[in-house]
Amino acid sequence: MDQMAPFVIFLLAAFSKTLASSTFDGARLGMRHVDFGGNFTKDELLARSAFRSSRLSLQYSSGEYMIELSIGTPDPQPISGVADTGSDIIWTQCEQPTSLYDPKKSQTYSALPCNSNACLNAPNPEPNQCCSYRITYGSSTAQGTLLSDTFLLGDTNPVSVPEMMFGCTTSSTATVSGAAAPTGIIGLSRSEYSLIEQLGVDKFSYCLHRDKDTIHPMFLGSAAILDGSLVQSTPFVAPQETTNYYVNLMGISLGSERLSIPQSLFQYNPSDGSGGVIIDSGTPITRLVPQALKIVSQAVQDKVNLPTADGSKYNLQVCFSLPSGSEAPSMPDLTFHFDGADLELTADKYMTQTDDGLFCLLILEPPFTQSIIGTFQTQNLHVLYDLSNNMLSFAPAECDKL
């Protein structure tokens, strides 16, 4: 999820990052789908994913997968937050009806000094409130106080990491849509506030699959290993100061046909931060800028040779009407050509057939000027963010066996 108003990146209080990075080497975390445990049909799950992808309703966070961890001592308090490479901060709800974390129950909770760099440069602080912050997601906000506590990370052999900084949100309209009700955001961006930067790790990875009711693994630091003959890699682009993870999309093919999409539609503009292509664990369905989506949609329509239909009930923008009782036509792979790597999407990763006879494209328009590669299109891939080498790598994987 790409925040509408990214806040200023600043240096953390030295003790926080130093302690965390000196005691943490790596861990495997368990993630769950936000609709874990919900009794939804295939079409309902599709509509919910598309809705979370849609910024037409900006009062919701759009993430699809949530990280489970615990905060505090001696009795760690379990929380869950949307795993979001497009968010800069870690925050969870406190002192609200859905709160899972109460700082008063932790012996290692600590308020941050009001004159620390973290507090002095907090995003959109409230006047005369020590270490307050306010984060904006479109028309919604999350606000509270920055503090620190011990994190317990890992679903096997958990690791205790002291003095991790996060937001204790006491007022929020930025609710997260999901049956499993995550209570916040786990920022995984390049920001100094994020989980990745505070831990001091130089790589992380995740592997997502279709089953919403099983564990999806995330690996941090030394636990993030990607090997095999099918690994592909592409460099991150854009300045290091940019907190999002940009990649260089060179073009798109449908089958053997390279579509006539100007590469300029996917280029990042360093002068104003517009344009470019982001890979984002917080966006379910891939988004392409309107001019590019129009060309892809036309190419798909030429292949299916079906009349267009209204897919708004599923929050989808490009749909076709199937003849009564007929099966969807066979479709070729859709390939995203990156610098040095090809992401090949089989038909089930970019098209879907609904129970009421629609055949829909699983790509949407973005709310901003950036195109976004979402998690639906990277399912059944082990995706590695190698920050020391500034590379994104991926390979096919059986995620439930990692």
pLDDT band for 52, please (50, 70, 90 cuts): low
**Residue that wins the pLDDT comparison between 107 and 184:** 107
Residue range 65-72: average pLDDT? 93
Residue range 207-233: average pLDDT? 91
3-state secondary structure of 236: strand
Residue range 202-210: average pLDDT? 93
Residue 362 structure tokens: 């699983």
What does the pLDDT read at residue 24? 84
Residue 169 and residue 122 in contact, taking contact as beta carbons nearer than 8 Å: no
What does the pLDDT read at residue 387? 95
Confidence check: pLDDT of 254 > 70: yes
What does the pLDDT read at residue 239? 74
Residue range 8-32: average pLDDT? 58
Catalytic residue, from 2, 35, 149, 280: name it.
280
Q: Which of 174-183, 289-298, 348-357 has the lowest mean pLDDT?
A: 174-183
pLDDT tens digits, 102-148: 999 999 999 999 999 888 888 888 888 999 999 887 667 888 999 99
Residue 155 and residue 28 in contact, taking contact as beta carbons nearer than 8 Å: yes
Closest-CA residue to 35 (of 50, 25, 22)? 50
Residue 155 designated active-site:
no
Measured distance between the N- and C-terminal CA atoms of the chain, rounded to whole angstroms: 25
Q: What is the mean pLDDT of the chain?
A: 86
Q: Kindly state the DSSP code that residue 297 receives in the 8-state scheme.
A: H
Type of residue numbered 317: Q
CB environment 164-182: b (16+ within 10 A), e (fewer): bbbbbbeebebbbbbebeb
Long-range pairs, 267-270, Cβ under 8 A, ≥24: 268/237, 268/238, 270/238, 270/239
pLDDT tens digits, 326-341: 889 999 999 999 999 9
Closest-CA residue to 28 (of 184, 167, 219)? 219
Confidence check: pLDDT of 296 > 90: yes
What does the pLDDT read at residue 62? 61
Confidence check: pLDDT of 21 > 60: no
Residue 53 structure tokens: 């992808």
What does the pLDDT read at residue 176? 56
Q: Kindly state the DSSP code that residue 338 receives in the 8-state scheme.
A: E
Residue 69 structure tokens: 């961890």
Confidence check: pLDDT of 60 > 60: no
Rg of the chain over Cα atoms, rounded to whole angstroms, equals 21
Confidence check: pLDDT of 223 > 90: yes
Quote the pTM value.
0.89
Q: Which of 7-21, 65-79, 87-101, 293-307 has the lowest mean pLDDT?
A: 7-21
Q: Which of 57-61, 62-66, 176-180 has the lowest mean pLDDT?
A: 57-61
Question: Would you put residue 46 in left (φ > 0), alpha (ψ -120 to 50) or beta?
Answer: alpha
Catalytic residue, from 35, 84, 88, 386: name it.
84
What does the pLDDT read at residue 39? 74
Residue 310 designated active-site:
no
What is the biggest distance separating any 2 CA atoms in the chain, rounded to whole angstroms? Answer: 68
What does the pLDDT read at residue 8? 31
What does the pLDDT read at residue 97? 60
pLDDT band for 34, please (50, 70, 90 cuts): confident
Only one residue has tokens 């969870």, namely 92
